[in-house]
Amino acid sequence: MKRLETVLYHFSRLLLGGLFLYAGLIKGNDVTAFARSVANYQLLPYSWNYLVAATLPAVEAIAGLLLVVNCRVRPAAVVLGALNLVFMVALVSVILRGLDIDCGCFNPDATSKTSPQLALLRDAGIMLLVVLSYWLRGRRPA
Amino acid sequence: MNGELRRILLEAAVILALGVVVGLSFNYRLVLDVFGGRLTAPAPVTADATVDLYPVPVDLQRLQTLLGQGALLIDARAVELYAEGHLQGARSLPMGDWVNQLADFRAAVPLQTTLILYCSGYGCPDSFDLGVELLKNGYQDVQVFEGGFPEWRDAGLPVDKGAP
């Protein structure tokens, strides 16, 4: 049982960390394109889309990196969990308003589109990884 | 346990703050440009193609001010859409054909002109992409009205029809 927990813990944190490290780097690489994706949500005042686009990728990448290197796992999981919660609320609002947009979750220049519904489902999976990483880290010796 | 939770939340806040600082230090120029509604650095007239310049976004209110100051509207959509209806006074320069039209465009529009590009609203990248190309080709003041044709029309502002 202990062994299974260990495997599950490392699997969760590596997958979660790798995912956000990748997402952060690819979005940080083209901030203006990502700002367009944020603007598509039509949630923020005009200039704030750029402020979010300038800072969010770095937060994602740093928290993701911490998870990958197994350092400060619980705080990093809290950050990513909070971000993921905000993403989910934003996606729900997009679905409720009937906007037809790409989620902009990863590559802002992607040619294929990820629907808000699919992105929401994916975020639910990510939330599970957050919970697993946080909870299993708490059960391991410090 | 309470102390442990407080430590985790504190460290989470530090991670968040660190990310914001790192993000801003990489992109402070873009953020300053956007919040100032302008290009901060006076566009260097240089042949250095490695310098990345980006068009500055403007909202409808700022757009109207700039138009009052002699800015030129550029419609980056396809000619067919331009003919169906465009912002009054806009000149057509479709993203799909700008390479062929650039010489004529440059002959007619001085490089110092303030250009405001638009296309079909949020989610349409053409005006931004065309803006990047115009900056590379010597235009110094290029801005993008991201609300585009839909926002202008929905605000009840004058729309013209007809081919360029």
**pLDDT per residue over A70-84, tens digit each?**
999 999 999 999 999
Query: So what's the pLDDT on residue B50?
Result: 44
**pLDDT tier, B45 (very low <50, low <70, confident <90, very high otherwise):** very low
Give chain A's mean pLDDT: 90
Are A75 and B12 inside 8 Å of each other by CB? yes
H helix intervals, chain B: 2-36, 60-68, 79-84, 98-108, 126-136, 148-154
Rounded distance between C-alpha atoms, residue B68 and residue A110, angstroms: 37
Expressed as residue numbers, the domain containing A50 is: 2-138
Across A47-61, B32-46, B142-156, least confident range: B32-46
pTM above 0.90, yes or no: no
Sign (positive/negative) of CA torsion A77, A82, A83, A88? positive
**pLDDT tier, B47 (very low <50, low <70, confident <90, very high otherwise):** very low
Distance from CA of B127 to the nearest CA of A (A): 12
Please name the member of A31, A72, A79 whose beta carbon is closest to the beta carbon of B16: A79
**Residue A46 DSSP SS3:** coil
Please name the member of A50, A66, A79 whose beta carbon is closest to the beta carbon of B30: A50
Name the residue with tokens 């939330």: A127
The DSSP-derived string for B125-159 is: -HHHHHHHHHHHTT-SEEEEETTHHHHHHHTT--E
| Residue B52 pLDDT exceeds 70 | no
Rounded distance between C-alpha atoms, residue B25 and residue B134, angstroms: 27
What does residue A122 show for φ and ψ, rounded to 5 degrees?
Answer: -65, -40
Q: Which residues, in sequence order, are CB contacts of B150 under 8 Å at separation 6+?
A: B120, B121
**pLDDT tier, B29 (very low <50, low <70, confident <90, very high otherwise):** confident
Query: So what's the pLDDT on residue B15?
Result: 97
CATH of the structural domain B56-160, one choice from 3.20.20.110, 3.40.50.300, 3.40.250.10, 3.40.30.10: 3.40.250.10
Distance from CA of A77 to the nearest CA of B (A): 8
Distance from CA of A35 to the nearest CA of B (A): 10
With beta carbons less than 8 A apart as the criterion, state whether A20 and A80 touch.
yes
Rounded distance between C-alpha atoms, residue A60 and residue A76, angstroms: 9
Are B128 and A59 inside 8 Å of each other by CB? no
Count CB-CB contacts under 10 A for residue B25: 10
Rounded distance between C-alpha atoms, residue A87 and residue A94, angstroms: 10
pLDDT digits (tens, 9 = 90+) for A9-46: 999 999 999 999 999 999 999 888 888 788 778 788 77
- Interface list for chain A against chain B, based on CB atoms closer than 8 Å: 28, 31-33, 36, 39-40, 42, 46-47, 50-51, 53-63, 66, 72, 74-76, 78-79, 82, 101-102
| Residue B42 pLDDT exceeds 70 | no
Kindly list the distances between the CA atom of residue B29 and the CA atoms of A61, A78, B24, B40, B87, in Å, as whole numbers in the listed order. 21, 30, 9, 7, 30
pLDDT digits (tens, 9 = 90+) for A94-138: 888 877 777 878 876 666 678 889 999 999 999 999 999 999 998
The DSSP-derived string for B61-74 is: HHHHHHHHTT-EEE
Give chain B's mean pLDDT: 86
Please name the member of A42, A54, A82 whose beta carbon is closest to the beta carbon of B27: A54
| Residue B40 pLDDT exceeds 50 | no
Rounded distance between C-alpha atoms, residue B128 and residue A42, angstroms: 18
B107 residue type, one letter:
A
**pLDDT tier, B12 (very low <50, low <70, confident <90, very high otherwise):** very high
With beta carbons less than 8 A apart as the criterion, state whether B48 and B64 touch.
no
With beta carbons less than 8 A apart as the criterion, state whether B6 and A53 touch.
no
Please name the member of A40, A55, A63 whose beta carbon is closest to the beta carbon of B23: A55
Query: So what's the pLDDT on residue A14?
Result: 97
Contacts of B26 in chain A (CB under 8 A): 28, 54, 58
pLDDT digits (tens, 9 = 90+) for B86-139: 999 999 999 988 888 988 898 899 988 999 999 998 878 889 989 988 988 888
Q: B68 or B32, which is more confident? A: B68
Rounded distance between C-alpha atoms, residue A134 and residue A77, angstroms: 6
Please give the share of chain B, as a percent, with pLDDT higher than 70.
Answer: 90
Q: Please compute the mean of the pLDDT values over residues B14-40 and round it to a whole number.
A: 84
CA angle B67, B72, B78 (to 5 degrees): 125
Q: Are strands B141-145 and B86-87 parallel, antiparallel or unpaired?
A: unpaired
| Residue A142 pLDDT exceeds 80 | no
Count CB-CB contacts under 10 A for residue A80: 28
Domains of chain A: total = 1
Rounded distance between C-alpha atoms, residue A99 and residue B122, angstroms: 11
